[in-house]
Structure 1
Amino acid sequence: MIEVAFTDVSLSLGDAAGAAVRSEALRRLAEATGATPVLMHQVHGADAALVDDHGSTEPPSCDALFTSRPGVALTARAADCVPVLLADPATGWIAAVHAGRPGLAAGVVPAAVARLREHGGDPAVAWIGPHVCGACYEVPAALQEEVVALVPEARSTTSWGTPALDLGAGVRAQLAGVGVDDVRVVDTCTREDTSWPSYRRDGDAATRFAGVIWSHP
């Protein structure tokens, strides 16, 4: 059985959290899921790492984790970026993906789907977690053009009329492009809803929440 969840501001999973705070957050996450949480050192790229030893304590530098092992809770942390969870219920393969602006442009989501397929999985369902919406994510016009040249569906305009990016729309388009049609979206803007961490709203004071996916034997 595959399960998913999105944490909120009650768990501080940011890199800036003190060791004791972060350790307590991971303990609570393990308790809630009944699985061992696995973090990644997110670098805004498109690399995906296979998790084949849930006893490892060193987070890999990547923006996607995938596994077929039960009892492992894969996490993608965010504070405006898009956490994406992928699952193939038929084989048990799962993935957690961190898709920020650079990762969207680099194709981290289709890269994660490709890695799952290389290992015998075929994700049939995806969950898109809370993220900054296209009406709130203002970017310079030149940066907008760089991204939409690669992901046209990400073009947006802020509610105040300036160039913007819709990361969620971009991710949905990429999922459709690789044949993942069952996409379930948490339709919440992190900048607008204070239940969720937001770097755009809170700057360096923002913590991180996580999209979490795990399976049971």
Structure 2
Amino acid sequence: MGTDDAAAPTSAFHWNAEVGPDLRVAFTAVGAGNLALHVGDEPDAVHGNRRRLESAMGVPAGALRFLNQTHSDRVAVLDRATQGAPDADGAVSPDGSEPLAVLVADCVPIVLADASVADGGTGATAVVHAGRAGVGNGIVERAVRTLRSHGALDLAAWIGPSVCGSCYEVPEDMMRAMAQVLPEAASRTRGGTPALDLPAAVRVQLARAGARVEPLDGAGPCCTVENPTLYSHRREPGAGRIAGLVWRT
């Protein structure tokens, strides 16, 4: 159970590891190409990137489940009967059989999985898109509750690359408003201006919800703004999107 694909400029993956029996979690890099249909690239090019990613993952073409992400608090439960990409910012596969993807370019991608299959758990999996709005409206806790409602017993979480607390500059009143609910979210840039530390806030929310956060052992720098092998909307408006992934092998 270790990292197989170290970060490299030409790699499709920022991090890719077997995290349990027949279970993998990964976060892509710019080497995978843009995986989003809404940032100006030709749809055929995006679909080609997605097919190449599926091949690298070892899943059938067209199997990877994406969302139409809207900065909401909605969590969709997906199975083989679900058609298309639902409007949601979280997705749950009740038995872990559906390969799931969440897209980001500064927001926080989260992968969750039930690690208790051998002890009677369901093996459920989930992905979450947690930007400032999602952190504020409880998308993280809602995803955990949805997993537990489908029998998940022992939840592990992986937090992928996102803008760090030194790079996410915001107005002072915005920082203070979030800090009233999540003090850990308050941060400052290197220049001393107000900022938000969304990864820190997500860690707190996951811990409160009873999910343990696992490290990305061997991953490179995880700030999307600072690491050019990752897409960043702040660094390059209109940039592509990386993906957080979870799938059964």
Distance in 2 (CA, whole Å) between partners of 1:150 and 1:43 is: 22
**Partner of residue 189, structure 1:** 223
**Partner of residue 87, structure 2:** 61
Distance in 1 (CA, whole Å) between partners of 2:91 and 2:49 is: 20
Distance in 1 (CA, whole Å) between partners of 2:205 and 2:96 is: 27
TM-score normalised by length of structure 1? 0.93
**Partner of residue 34, structure 1:** 58
Aligned runs of 1:3-152 on 2, under 5 Å? 3-10=24-31, 11-14=33-36, 15-16=38-39, 17-35=41-59, 36-53=63-80, 56=83, 58-89=84-115, 90=117, 91-152=122-183
Distance in 2 (CA, whole Å) between partners of 1:168 and 1:54 is: 33
Q: SS at 1:38's partner residue?
A: coil
Point out where structure 2 has 5 or more consecutive residues left out of the alignment: 1-21
Point out where structure 1 has 5 or more consecutive residues left out of the alignment: none
CA RMSD, Structure 1 to Structure 2 (Å): 1.5
How many Å apart are 1:69 and its aligned residue?
4.3
Number of equivalences: 214
Q: SS at 1:126's partner residue?
A: strand
Pair 1:199-2:225 in alignment: no
Q: Which of 185, 198, 208 matches 2:241?
A: 208
Change (3 A) 1:92 1:75: same
How many Å apart are 1:33 and its aligned residue?
1.7
Higher RCO (CA-CA < 8 Å; seq separation 6+): 1
**Partner of residue 193, structure 2:** 162
TM-score normalised by length of structure 2? 0.82
Q: Which of 168, 175, 198 matches 2:206?
A: 175
Q: Does the CA contact (< 8 Å) of 1:38 and 1:72 recur in 2?
A: yes
Q: SS at 2:64's partner residue?
A: strand
Identity %: 40
Q: CA offsets per residue over residues 96-136 of structure 1, 9 Å max, x none?
A: 00000100011111110000011111342110001100000
Distance in 2 (CA, whole Å) between partners of 1:71 and 1:113 is: 18
Partner AA of 1:210 in structure 2: A
Change (3 A) 1:208 1:92: same
How many Å apart are 1:181 and its aligned residue?
2.2
